[in-house]
């Protein structure tokens, strides 16, 4: 088992493809089930986790496993502080579970449903003191929020900071209502803002501040003495807080302040998380009535019929034929997973305190969890592929470039959609593949427009309308987002090359200018331009410099906004917007002026061609800026 996991992790590190397909059927042989006992768990994790930490470059991990209402296993591996060599203790070391926090918010929502104060299908404006506008005539409901079908576009500004007291959900949700991309209840689009809105609704209908509500109605009843949503961390808990590490080489900047507390501000231990898992596995004991817990845990929404759907707050996972409900979570430094098998009354929680080498630490849970299931709940699975002709046709049909439904369209964060186009590839053996997680994953078609991962548990399904693929997603991602064809230049794979060419042309023009000027001065008969042409040339140089400055500013802003999630950059943002407007529009006008003067002055086809190339370059930059939020003024993103 350890050798198998090590091999998988090494394949990630090496970026190698998944297992090759052979034979007429796609077979996943069952392993012999191991006894799910404390002794076997300790032996397995003692072998697996040190290897995983070493290969992925992750400082530490905390784990708890529960079964039949008892903590079966809990243990920490590695270090909570690499400098002090403080070991991780599952009972006392505090981690940040990130979006696993949402399960506490959803539990609070269901408590208020149970109390008759909330209706999952009512317009949320019924519970608010401000208005969330309807979209396409459809109001937003708590059921939409709990199944991540709100239609809100992505928001990242100030999502995570490292100073201050931390905002309340009320402050956050009232400050900025994100634009909508889809009508509510239709397309999956994971939204932290919407969860924060749910937290504020709980506060409104209960009459208690959200953090205090969770303490009184969840933490205290379950005996979760080492858990809090408060930010910054209370003084009495700080000594047990694990250091967070962004990657293998970088220690974090301190305690992360989550600007949408209900969406991710929990601090807890693996031991406390075990108590929460036990409560949910025991039909909500201590938190909810059995019928309420059942409503929360059972299927609620599915967009793709062959894939996992959403429960209320939890998302479905099907592993070896067993239904599980789960939720993952990521902050800048911590990466976590909570998985429940309701029928087996088994739960697993794990959290790492660093992104590791090349992000492998953040992704380790995607391999530990399936290995856990394969060890204790194995099942042989055989899938019969579709015929070769159908496989080839459908692979070619789905191959292409796609954008995610979890995105921003109205701000410069939309550049992530351009830079992060997801490519589905039709392979020579009629399989398809993608590299969403940073390494290739291959699938073989087993039903019309349903593909099974080769050597793994994942499935992929496409929605086809009038012979065209209009969306697709995978079992792993269906709860949060799907993918749609990327149209226009980006869909054709031309946007980035053409923008790159535009930048190269402007650079060539700028750096060739002094060389050309020196050559002309040395010439026996230097060319004398008209005064308008001289002004146009000089203006072109000025706008080329301004344009390069604008591109550098936007690149820096984009990296800071997405990598750190802590931008306090309103002045920088405004300056970048203003500079881009002046540089791109001004540069386009000057380039057009230069071309007109060249044509009218009959200055030769080479100069006319060069001026046309520069006009093309500025046209591409105006296209980029207009379509990706660089030529608009706004402060929220």
The predicted model gives 169-182 an average pLDDT of 94
Instruction: Phi first, then psi: give them for residue 322, nearest 5 degrees.
Output: -105, 140
Residue 18 confidence (pLDDT): 37
Angle of CA points 619, 625, 629, to nearest 5°: 160
Alpha helices in 28-83 (DSSP H): 38-56
Whether residue 209 is found in the same domain as residue 305: yes
**pLDDT of residue 30 exceeding 80:** no
Give the end of a domain, one of 430, 464, 490.
490
The predicted model gives 393-399 an average pLDDT of 97
Whether residue 504 is found in the same domain as residue 450: no
| Cβ 427 vs Cβ 395: under 8 Å | yes
Residue 527 confidence (pLDDT): 56
Residue 511 confidence (pLDDT): 79
Q: Count of CB atoms within 10 A of residue 162's CB? A: 14
The predicted model gives 306-331 an average pLDDT of 94
The predicted model gives 227-232 an average pLDDT of 97
Q: Count of CB atoms within 10 A of residue 291's CB? A: 11
Whether residue 325 is found in the same domain as residue 398: no
The predicted model gives 163-177 an average pLDDT of 88
Segment holding 205, helix H or strand E = helix 192-206
Identify the band that residue 15 occupies on the pLDDT scale cut at 50, 70 and 90: very low
The predicted model gives 412-425 an average pLDDT of 90
* pLDDT tens digits, one per residue of 563-615: 666 557 788 899 999 999 999 999 999 999 989 888 887 777 888 998 999 99
Of 513, 393, 515, 499, which is closest to residue 449 (Cα–Cα)?
A: 393
Of 241, 231, 326, 312, which is closest to residue 277 (Cα–Cα)?
A: 326
The predicted model gives 85-102 an average pLDDT of 98
Identify the band that residue 193 occupies on the pLDDT scale cut at 50, 70 and 90: very high
Residue 444's domain comprises: 385-490
Give the end of a domain, one of 360, 381, 402.
381
* pLDDT tens digits, one per residue of 45-57: 999 999 999 999 9
Query: What percent of the chain shows pLDDT beyond 70?
Result: 91
Whether residue 118 is found in the same domain as residue 252: yes
| Cβ 440 vs Cβ 17: under 8 Å | yes
Give the end of a domain, one of 349, 381, 413.
381
Residue 383 confidence (pLDDT): 85
Cα 164 to Cα 9: distance, rounded to the nearest angstrom: 39
Residue 515 confidence (pLDDT): 59
Flag whether 635 is in a domain. Answer: no
Flag whether 518 is in a domain. Answer: yes
Please tell me what DSSP assigns to residue 217: I
Range with the lowest mean pLDDT among 227-236, 557-566, 627-636?
557-566
Residue 23 confidence (pLDDT): 36
Residue 492 confidence (pLDDT): 81
Query: What contacts 267, CB < 8 A, 6 or more positions away?
Result: 94, 95, 96, 227, 228, 229, 233, 237, 241
Instruction: Tokens for 286, please give them.
Output: 């201590």
Flag whether 636 is in a domain. Answer: no
Whether residue 192 is found in the same domain as residue 166: yes
Cα 439 to Cα 359: distance, rounded to the nearest angstrom: 11
Tell me whether residue 351 is exposed, middle or buried, using C-beta atoms within 10 angstroms of its C-beta: 0 to 12, 13 to 18, 19 or more: buried
Tell me whether residue 274 is exposed, middle or buried, using C-beta atoms within 10 angstroms of its C-beta: 0 to 12, 13 to 18, 19 or more: buried
Whether residue 367 is found in the same domain as residue 449: no
Segment holding 270, helix H or strand E = helix 270-281
Whether residue 435 is found in the same domain as residue 335: no
Flag whether 632 is in a domain. Answer: no
Q: What is the dihedral of CA 115, 150, 476, 70, to 10 degrees?
A: -20
Whether residue 327 is found in the same domain as residue 193: yes
Flag whether 307 is in a domain. Answer: yes
What's the number of domains the chain is made of? 3
Whether residue 256 is found in the same domain as residue 230: yes
Flag whether 330 is in a domain. Answer: yes
CATH number, residue 300:
3.40.710.10
Whether residue 363 is found in the same domain as residue 305: yes
> Which string of DSSP letters, residue by residue, matches 78-91?
EEEETTTTEEP-TT
**pLDDT of residue 517 exceeding 60:** no
Flag whether 223 is in a domain. Answer: yes
Whether residue 520 is found in the same domain as residue 460: no
> Would you put residue 488 in left (φ > 0), alpha (ψ -120 to 50) or beta?
left
The predicted model gives 161-178 an average pLDDT of 88
Identify the band that residue 523 occupies on the pLDDT scale cut at 50, 70 and 90: very low
Cα 563 to Cα 619: distance, rounded to the nearest angstrom: 29
The predicted model gives 464-492 an average pLDDT of 93
**Beta strands across the sheet bearing 322-330:** 86-87, 70-81, 60-67, 346-352, 335-341, 322-330, 315-319
**pLDDT of residue 269 exceeding 80:** yes
Whether residue 562 is found in the same domain as residue 486: no
Q: Look over the chain and give the mean of its residue pLDDT values, rounded to a whole number.
A: 90
Q: Is 462 helix (H, G, I), strand (E, B) or coil?
A: strand
Flag whether 252 is in a domain. Answer: yes
């Amino acid at each position: 088992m350890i050798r198998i996991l090590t091999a998988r992790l090494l394949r990630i590190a090496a970026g190698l493809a998944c297992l090759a397909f052979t034979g007429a059927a796609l077979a996943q042989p069952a392993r012999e089930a191991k006894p799910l006992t404390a002794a076997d768990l300790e032996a397995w994790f003692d072998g697996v986790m040190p290897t995983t930490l070493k290969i992925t470059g992750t400082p530490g991990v905390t784990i708890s496993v529960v079964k039949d209402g008892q903590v079966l296993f809990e243990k920490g591996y590695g270090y909570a502080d690499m400098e002090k060599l403080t070991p991780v203790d599952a009972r006392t070391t505090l981690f940040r579970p990130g979006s696993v926090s949402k399960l506490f918010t959803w539990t609070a929502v269901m408590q208020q449903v149970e109390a008759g104060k909330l209706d999952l299908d009512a317009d949320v404006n019924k519970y608010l003191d401000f208005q969330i506008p309807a979209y396409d005539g459809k109001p937003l409901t708590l059921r939409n929020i709990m199944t991540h079908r709100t239609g809100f576009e992505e928001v990242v500004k100030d999502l995570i900071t490292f100073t201050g007291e931390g905002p309340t959900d009320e402050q956050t949700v009232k400050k900025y209502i994100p634009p909508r991309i889809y009508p509510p209840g239709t397309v999956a689009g994971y939204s932290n803002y919407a969860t924060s809105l749910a937290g504020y609704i709980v506060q409104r209908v209960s009459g208690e501040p959200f953090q205090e509500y969770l303490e009184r109605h969840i933490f205290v009843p379950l005996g979760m003495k080492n858990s809090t949503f408060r930010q910054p961390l209370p003084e009495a808990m700080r000594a047990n807080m694990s250091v967070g590490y962004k990657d293998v080489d970088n220690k974090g900047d301190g305690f992360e302040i989550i600007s949408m507390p209900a969406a991710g501000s929990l601090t807890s231990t693996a031991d406390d998380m075990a108590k929460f898992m036990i409560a949910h596995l025991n039909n909500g004991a201590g938190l909810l009535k059995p019928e309420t817990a059942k409503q929360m845990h059972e299927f609620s929404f599915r967009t793709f019929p062959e894939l996992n759907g959403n429960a209320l707050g939890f998302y479905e996972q099907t592993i070896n034929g067993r239904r599980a409900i789960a939720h993952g979570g990521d902050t800048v430094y911590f990466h976590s997973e909570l998985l429940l098998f309701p029928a087996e009354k088994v739960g697993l929680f794990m959290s790492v305190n660093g992104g590791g080498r090349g992000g492998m630490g953040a992704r380790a849970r995607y391999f530990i969890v399936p290995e856990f299931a394969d060890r204790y709940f194995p099942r042989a699975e055989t899938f019969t592929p579709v015929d070769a002709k159908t496989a080839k046709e459908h692979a070619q049909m789905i191959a292409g470039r796609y954008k995610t439904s979890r995105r921003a369209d109205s701000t410069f964060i939309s550049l992530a959609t351009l830079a992060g186009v997801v490519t589905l590839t039709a392979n020579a053996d009629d399989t398809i593949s993608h590299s969403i997680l940073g390494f290739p994953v291959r699938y073989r078609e087993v039903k019309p427009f349903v593909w099974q991962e080769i050597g793994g548990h994942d499935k992929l399904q496409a929605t086809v309308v009038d012979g065209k693929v209009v969306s697709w997603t995978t079992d792993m991602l269906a709860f949060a987002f799907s993918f749609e064809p990327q149209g226009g230049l980006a869909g054709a794979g031309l946007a980035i090359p053409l923008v790159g060419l535009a930048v190269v042309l402007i650079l060539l023009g700028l750096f060739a200018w002094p060389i050309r000027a020196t050559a002309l001065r040395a010439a026996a008969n230097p060319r004398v331009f008209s005064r308008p042409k001289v002004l146009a040339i000089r203006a072109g140089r000025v706008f080329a410099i301004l344009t390069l400055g604008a591109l550098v500013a936007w690149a820096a802003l984009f990296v800071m906004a997405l990598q750190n999630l802590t931008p306090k950059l309103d002045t920088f943002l405004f300056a970048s917007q203003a500079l881009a407007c002046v540089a791109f529009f001004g540069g386009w006008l000057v380039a057009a002026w230069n071309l007109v003067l060249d044509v009218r002055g009959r200055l030769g086809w080479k100069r006319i061609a060069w001026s046309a190339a520069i006009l093309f370059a500025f046209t591409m930059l105006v296209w980029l800026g207009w379509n990706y939020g660089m030529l608009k003024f706004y402060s929220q993103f």
